[in-house]
Amino acid sequence: MFIGEVLSGIRVLLLGGGGAARASLLGLIEEGADEIVIFNRTPERARSMSRRIGGERTRVIQTLEEIEGEDFDLVLMLPVSGLRRMMPHRWI
């Protein structure tokens, strides 16, 4: 993916639940991303963000193992401090 590419129809993994993640989620929805999977160390925060902004095109996961083997077109890592400890080291 490159800056300026069309986001319509893509699958996105969104890691984080702070302000940057919320703004990114809104942009992804507006640009037509097909599915956005959200992971945050506080699942309730991710669910709230999904309900308020993402609607039917979002899916919240509680563990990274839930998506093992799945493919994504774009991965956005927008963690606030504590989330980094929960990610596989090879991702950082």
Residues 6+ apart with CB under 8 A from 70: 11, 37
CB 46 within 8 A of CB 17: yes
The CA distance from 11 to 13, in Å, is: 7
**31 in a structural domain:** no
pLDDT of residue 41: 86
The yes-or-no verdict on residue 59 having pLDDT over 80 is yes
Structural domains in the chain (count):
1
> Which residues form the domain of 80?
41-60+74-84
Residue 50 is assigned to a structural domain of this protein: yes
pLDDT score for 83: 54
3-54, pLDDT tens digit by residue? 556 788 899 999 998 888 999 999 999 999 999 999 998 899 999 999 999 8
pLDDT at 60 > cutoff 90? yes
2 found inside a domain:
no
Residue environment code for 5-14, b if the CB has 16+ CB neighbours within 10 A, otherwise e = eebeebebbb
Q: Determine, yes or no, domain membership for 49.
A: yes
Q: Is the residue at 46 inside a domain?
A: yes
Q: Using CA atoms, how far apart are residues 11 and 51, in angstroms rounded to an integer?
A: 18
